[in-house]
Amino acid sequence: MNRVLAHTGATYPIIQAPMGWIARTQLASAVSRAGGLGIIETSSGETENCQAEIRQMAALGLPFGVNLPIRFLKDDAMLRFVCESGVKFVTTSAGSPAKFIAPLKSAGITVYHAVPTVDAAMKCVDAGIDGLVVEGAEGGGFKNPEEVSTLVLLQAIRARTNVPMIAAGGICDGRGMAAAFALGAEAIQMGTRFVCCAESPVHENYKQAIVNARETGTFMLNKKSTPCIRALKSERTTAIHEAGVMSFDDMKGIRGVYFGGDMEAAPALAGQSAGLIDSVKTAKQIIDDTVAEFFAISQRMGAMAQANSF
């Protein structure tokens, strides 16, 4: 059996990315109901709200996961809560997971860590991680300035280790999923695609900005400092791009983007896959279309192998 399905309990190896304020029960439950795996975020730093979301999601009896963005956790309250709340699957990100692996695993939780390079991947493997979220530079959100693409990263990591890989960054459909599986992934994680989902709680303007964006419609910002992010082109991000620097203060208006629809309130995180997304769909449509396209492509490739002909 596919190891990611065994670890998560999902029907399809399609995971909704953790995303601050966005990845909460409304979106995660729609994804899990459609057979994918919803993930609840904790990167918003709203400890009590996130704990309530985790309780609400757990009460639905659907498979789900929780993300712990290590560098952004104020203390170990969220880690302790997750260990005690019956959560079965956690992804860690933004920092070294070394100290998180033992407590999570002794609580019976499977742990995957998000990595942007081979070195980071190998450190996690040495620390006893169960699997990796392999995140290429095409994706939206906080990024590693080294900018390794998902295409190269999956191959480079698979050449060094056999742990299960979830591919993330630049994937929004069955074509991307088939490519990721060809490179050794056993699941995909989609962020930008699920921002632009009917059940996503964000303002219509943000969804439409993703629909309208081309493949050239994002900037990788602040490569020489932190936070390095990929976000949609806008007047504000063009100014940051030209200045070459930004600080965490520039992200302060993010809720104005997400829920007020003011696309200039802060950089609107999104990946290059925005150029492949041309409509808002329900979580079920996204997952059904992705699975159907994945199998159609796999069938075509299988026929080539069987006929020993291209």
Ligand X SMILES: Cc1cc2nc3c(=O)[nH]c(=O)nc-3n(C[C@H](O)[C@H](O)[C@H](O)COP(=O)(O)O)c2cc1C
> What residue ranges bind ligand X (CB under 6 A)?
17-20, 22, 41, 43, 67, 69, 93, 114, 135, 138-141, 168-171, 189-193, 195, 269-271, 273
CB of 128 vs ligand X, minimal distance in Å: 20
Distances, alpha carbon 118 to alpha carbons 88, 139, 154, in Å: 26, 17, 9
CB of 160 vs ligand X, minimal distance in Å: 21
Residue whose CB is less far from ligand X, 68 or 125: 68
Please give the residue whose beta carbon sits closest to ligand X in the complex. 191
Residue whose CB is less far from ligand X, 1 or 168: 168
Residue whose CB is less far from ligand X, 270 or 280: 270
Residue whose CB is less far from ligand X, 212 or 299: 212
> CA–CA separation, 168 vs 171, rounded Å?
7
CB of 304 vs ligand X, minimal distance in Å: 28
Q: Which two tokens stand for residue 248?
A: 């965490």
CB of 21 vs ligand X, minimal distance in Å: 9
Q: What are the residue ranges of helices labelled H in the chain?
A: 3-8, 25-33, 47-59, 77-84, 98-106, 118-126, 150-158, 174-182, 192-195, 204-212, 235-243, 254-258, 283-307
Residue whose CB is less far from ligand X, 178 or 269: 269
> CA–CA separation, 191 vs 136, rounded Å?
12
CB of 95 vs ligand X, minimal distance in Å: 10
